[in-house]
Structure 1
Amino acid sequence: MITLCGFGVSNYYNKLKLCMLEKGVPFTEKLAYPWERASFSHASPLGRIPFVETAKGGLSETQAILEYLEDEFRDKPLFPAAPFARAKCRELLQHLELNVEWVVRRLYREAFFGGAVSAETKSDVRAKLAAGLEALARLAGFSPHICGADFTAADCAAIFHLDYVRQASLKIYGEDFLAAHLPGASAYLADMAKRPHVQTTMADRAAALAAFQALKIDYAG
């Protein structure tokens, strides 16, 4: 049995959770907050969350975990079989996370956790986020899934990353950056929200966010 460790506010945690639900992988969940990193450095060397505990040991970094899940549980693949299509799925994942999610998360402290970010940060993120989303638009298919006809691991990530982009941009700038810079994304998210496992994970995320906000912790995301 796999144990998914972290907390349900994290879009990276929910990316893995949705992946396991969609693949039908048996797993349990264990709450682990970032400031508790000393207690789980054996499984996550830098104390990053999420991570998983398995019968063979701990595993950290979500891309490594995704690859492990795909290799270990092959009955329902979430990466395309053809080598080039598989590489394009990985390319989209990398771009989404490095050039979109890691940009917008600089706003999370103010958007979600009750803190504040500087005007300089907001200005820098605005330009880089727009550029990242416009580049993503050249890769994303939304036909109907982000990589084409089939639901893939890229969808497991995009559903949560893009939703946070929309929420954060609306909160900080009063603008929906998805509508402005990634055509088709809003309709895509509405369509993905009909999937039962997405509904379950989103409901759990809302409960986790409410519980976390009640702690009144200064957290940057």
Structure 2
Amino acid sequence: MLILYGFDVSNYFNMVKLALAYKELDYKKHTLYPNQSTEFLALSPMGKVPVLETTQGCLCETSVMMEYLDVLHSERPLYPGDDFAKAKIKELVKLCELYIELPARRCYPEVFFGQQVSLETKKEVKRALFKGIEGLARTAKFSPYLAGSEFSAADIMFLYSADMAAIVMQKAFDIDLLALAPGATELMARLKEMPQVQQIAADRKVANVDFQKYIASLS
């Protein structure tokens, strides 16, 4: 039995949840926040979530988990197509993660938690997100999905990366990030209509109550 460690407010945790739900794989959920305990570091070398426990051991890093799940269960593939098509999907996954999700994360403290972020950091984030979404627009097909006609791992990474980044751009800079990539707004709406995505959103709303208590306990 697969065991997924993490919490329902985490966008990376929800990426793996969507992959599991889309592929209709059974698993157990173990709610856990990032920590540096000896016990958890034995599962996750950096103390990060999510972590996927398998019968052979544990895996960390979301993109690695999605690739593993695709090998484990080939039906409803997350990386459809020939070897080159699979590589292009992996390319899109990395573009979303490295140039949209990670830059936006630097402004999370201010946008989501009411903390202060330096003006220089915000300028850097704004520049990085412009470059990231423009790069994605040059690479993605949006026909209607990111890599073409079929849903893929790239759409999962886009959904939970670009959605958060769009909130950052709107609240911090009053800019519509998705409008900068033709087809991105429509794709985001399509993805949010998926029953699995709607269930994950409902789970996130419920879990946010405990998450806010957890954040308050850190201060």
TM-score by length of 1: 0.93
Q: CA deviation at 1:174?
A: 2.1
Contact kept? 2:3, 2:52, Cα under 8 Å: yes
- Count of equivalent residues: 218
Q: CA deviation at 1:176?
A: 1.8
User: How far apart, in 2, do the equivalents of 1:216 and 1:13 lie?
Assistant: 17
Q: CA deviation at 1:110?
A: 1.3
What corresponds to 1:153 in structure 2?
153
- Secondary structure of the corresponding residue to residue 143 of structure 1: coil
Residue identity (%): 39
| 2:102 equivalent to 1:73 | no
Q: CA deviation at 1:36?
A: 5.0
What corresponds to 1:198 in structure 2?
197
Kindly report which structure 2 residues correspond to 1:208-219, keeping only aligned pairs within 5 A, or say none.
Answer: 208-217=207-216
What corresponds to 1:63 in structure 2?
63
User: How far apart, in 2, do the equivalents of 1:211 and 1:187 lie?
Assistant: 32
Which ranges in structure 2 are unaligned for 5 or more consecutive residues?
A: none
What corresponds to 2:172 in structure 1?
172
Deviations 1:46-81 (A, max 9, x none): 112111112222111112211111111112211023
What corresponds to 2:186 in structure 1?
187
Contact kept? 2:111, 2:168, Cα under 8 Å: yes
What corresponds to 1:29 in structure 2?
29
Deviations 1:1-44 (A, max 9, x none): 11111111211111110000000110121111113554311111
User: How far apart, in 1, do the equivalents of 2:5 and 2:182 lie?
Assistant: 34
> RMSD between aligned alpha carbons?
1.6
| 2:119 equivalent to 1:119 | yes
Q: Which moved more, 1:56-65 or 1:82-91?
A: 56-65
Q: CA deviation at 1:178?
A: 1.6
TM-score by length of 2: 0.93
What corresponds to 1:102 in structure 2?
102
What corresponds to 2:143 in structure 1?
143
Residue 29 to residue 130, structure 1, CA distance change in 2 (3 Å): same
